Amino acid sequence: PLTRKIPAAATIDYLDSGKVKTKGIVNKTFKLEDFDKALQSIKDKSAIKAAIVFD
């Protein structure tokens, strides 16, 4: 297959580098402590793509 598993830490580093433009892809962001709200927003379809932000 054309897919491969990439470790989460490497994915986070890649996104953090700014090489991938997420504007338009992610339509809601949540803090880590609101992870349950992020999951719920995906379940109820109020978020198409949600992201956890670490600030």
Domain limits of the chain? 21-55
Query: How far apart are alpha carbons 37 and 41 in whole angstroms?
Result: 6
What are the residues whose beta carbons fall under 8 Å from the beta carbon of 28, sequence distance 6 or more? 38, 41, 46, 47, 49, 50, 51
Mean pLDDT of all residues belonging to the chain = 84
- Mean pLDDT of the region 18-44: 88
CA distance 8 to 44: 25
pLDDT confidence of 38, banded at 50, 70, 90? very high
In this prediction, residue 12 has a pLDDT band, given cuts at 50, 70 and 90, of confident
pLDDT of residue 19: 84
Tell which wins on pLDDT, 38 or 11.
38
- The CA distance from 22 to 13, in Å, is 14
The pTM score is 0.54
